[in-house]
Structure 1
Amino acid sequence: MLRKALASVPVSNMKFTSVLVLFFCSTFNKSQGKSKPKPGCEYPPSQWCRSLEIAIECGVQKQCLELNATRPNSAVPRVEVTLYYESLCPGCRVFLTQQLFPTWAMLHDIMEVKLVPYGNAQELPSGNSPFTCEHGEPECHSNMIEACILHSVGLYSAFPVIDCMESAANVLAAAQPCLQLHIPSMTWDSVTTCVKGELGFKLMHENALKTNALSPAKTHVPWVTINREYTGDFQDKAMSSLFNLVCKMYKGGKPPACTGAQKKLDRSLC
């Protein structure tokens, strides 16, 4: 039971490391007299709740259980938010970096995000390039880079990279340094192999099929669906305050971030 509870805590995203550090620094047992892991612990704070063995080695079993106790009921479906976008569209970039990513960072336990980089691109039946993009070849290239990273590591690890790219002045130029920053174990060569090979074109073809299958048909980007449904009301609310929309749509017990509830914590500080 304890193993299952601890294993359910996601910790791989470095964006959440500071949250975990703050939690442990704020709640560490006073009787231990200090807010540091046991001397034998060789793991960073972001890894402490990855497994029962690590939690025991670092002496944080109690804190990991308390952290897990605040998580929503896994039996309640999460709110699914899908973004159909193109990487160089100014409106898409603003929505992704100022609404979608921050909301996911705070509410990732109650929401599921899907990204479909394609947007207003068109798939051509023939020619040197099988796709044309609204903002030219650089957009086709960066769309494919993001699709390849998503395919390789999944959204949880890929999202910080994509947010980093879309926040940069030059999305395409930021791709490699953003990858190195957030997923240092993934080589840039593996991304370029995907982009230049059959896999990259296959992924873009799949995104084209998903985008073209939308009902109602997409008329602009960013195009946001909630639980696989598009309405003008959903779109307006997502664009103005996605955070409030996700909190409202979630059917289970609201997490503290939604309710503003404050949890009484141990007063010991780091």
Structure 2
Amino acid sequence: KSAELAADVAKLEKEIQEVQRQLVEAEKAGGIKQIPIPKLVKSVEKSEPPPATLAPPAKQAKAEAPAKKEKSGGEKKAAGGGGKKAENAAADDAIDVGRLDLRVGRIIKCEKHPDADALYVEQIDVGEPTPRTVVSGLVRHVPLDQMQNRLVVVLCNLKPAKMRGVESRAMVMCASSPEKVEIMEVDQSSQPGTPVLCPPYTHRPDAQLNPKKKVWETVAVDLKVCPEGYAVWKDCPLLVGGNTKMTAPTLRGVFIK
């Protein structure tokens, strides 16, 4: 009986193989690509326990853990340093009075513009090897003789601009109202080139203000003469060399430009 059963099983297996063969032939004829499937071979080898020498690597991995932690800490420290640099860069980019290059200057020579009746052309010592040429619209407000050898405050990092054919490389700071303009005054002991500071704002003047970023235009909105007669930016006094104030002779509560 066992032999008959084995014969039946063998016959069935043969029939299954034949059906599978016919199916494959039919699929090939229909254009279906055949992918051979590898036969599963049962392992008859007796499994052996892992050798005892495999235990030490776990200990080694444990020893390596602090090094990995240290690396992570280093990366975190580096990231923290980058964040601090970003904060410093953001502070430097902030638009405030500290980005203006305001200095004491002395007018060495002043004459009327050859092609503009309302303009003066001045040569101003701002503490550099050579004087700067500055064009100012002060003819109607300050007599020519009062311009000579005069101490002034000059904005030195505006982009140079031609005014009726003469390039102006700075601007004389004045208290200004629609009816009157006065040159801002400083202590007569001040020296050309002395910077004008405004604590607590950090003095970090741009080499040249970018007109597209509107730094001067933004700062000028809060640059005024206070009721007491001295220059302030957002109520903070502007100090020549960090010590003495720059003042307007008579104007009060007006813009400085």
Give the TM-score taking structure 2 as reference length: 0.22
Rg (Cα) greater in structure: 2
Point out which structure has higher relative CO (alpha carbons under 8 A, 6+ apart).
1
Give the TM-score taking structure 1 as reference length: 0.21
- Bigger share in helix: 1
